[in-house]
C-alpha cells in the first residue's frame, strides 16, 4: 500500500482531468459539498456510491488503486508506463500539444472513398418551361405603432392622414 490517502488519489484524478472541485463533482454527478468533505481537513471517506459514480465516469481508473493505493492509477497500460503516482500529468500524451490517443484506446477509423467534386451541370432545357406568377397586392398603410416600456406602460403613435 502506498503512503497516499484516498483524498490524495481523488486529487490526482482531478489533476489528470484538469478539473476543479466543482467541475469534478459535476462530472461524477455528486454535490460539490460531497467532494469538499472528501478533500477537506476532516478527511471524510467517500461513500461506495461516490466511488462507483467516479468509476462509472472514469472507467479506466483502477479501483484497487483508488481504494488502497496499490497498483497503477489507470487500467490502460500506456498511461501507466509514462507516469507514476507522483508524476506531473502535463507530460502525459493526453495533454501534449499534438495529443494522440494511446494505442490501447485508439478507435479504428471507417475508411471512405474520396471522390472528386463534380462540376455543376447546366440543364437549360427546362428554363423556358417555367411559369412565374406575380400577383400584385394592394399597398398596406401603417395605422398605428405601439411602443411598450419596461415599466408596463406604452405609447401609441398614429400617422397623420392627409
CATH number, residue 66: 1.10.260.40
**80 is a domain residue:** yes
Would 125 be classed as within a structural domain? no
Structural domain total, the chain: 1
The per-residue pLDDT for range 29-59, each reduced to its tens digit, is: 999 988 888 888 776 788 999 999 998 999 8
Residue 24 lies in a domain: yes
Residue with cell 411598450: 148
| Cα torsion 76, 80, 85, 89: sign | negative
What is the reported pTM?
0.47
Give the residue numbers spanning the domain of 49: 6-103
Is 35 part of a structural domain of the chain?
Answer: yes
Query: Which of 88, 65, 53 shows the shortest CA–CA distance to 5?
Result: 65
Give the chain's residues under pLDDT 70: 1-4, 43, 78-132, 161-162
Residue 16 forms part of a structural domain = yes
* Percentage of the chain modeled with pLDDT above 70: 62
- Long-range Cβ contacts of 150-157 (<8 Å, 24+ apart): none
Residue 14 lies in a domain: yes
Amino acid at each position: 500500500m502506498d503512503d497516499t490517502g484516498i483524498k490524495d488519489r481523488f486529487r490526482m484524478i482531478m489533476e489528470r482531468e484538469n478539473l476543479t472541485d466543482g467541475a469534478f463533482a459535476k462530472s461524477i454527478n455528486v454535490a460539490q459539498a460531497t467532494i469538499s468533505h472528501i478533500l477537506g481537513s476532516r478527511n471524510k471517506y467517500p461513500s461506495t456510491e461516490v466511488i462507483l459514480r467516479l468509476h462509472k465516469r472514469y472507467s479506466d481508473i483502477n479501483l484497487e488503486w483508488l481504494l488502497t493505493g496499490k497498483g497503477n492509477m489507470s487500467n490502460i497500460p500506456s498511461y501507466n508506463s509514462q507516469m507514476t503516482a507522483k508524476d506531473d500529468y502535463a507530460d502525459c500524451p493526453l495533454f501534449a500539444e499534438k495529443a494522440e490517443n494511446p494505442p490501447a484506446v485508439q478507435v479504428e477509423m471507417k475508411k471512405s472513398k474520396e471522390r472528386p467534386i463534380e462540376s455543376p451541370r447546366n440543364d437549360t432545357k427546362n428554363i423556358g418551361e417555367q411559369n412565374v406568377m406575380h400577383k400584385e397586392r394592394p399597398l398596406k398603410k401603417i395605422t398605428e405603432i405601439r411602443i411598450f416600456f419596461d415599466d408596463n406602460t406604452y405609447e401609441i403613435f398614429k400617422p397623420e392622414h392627409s
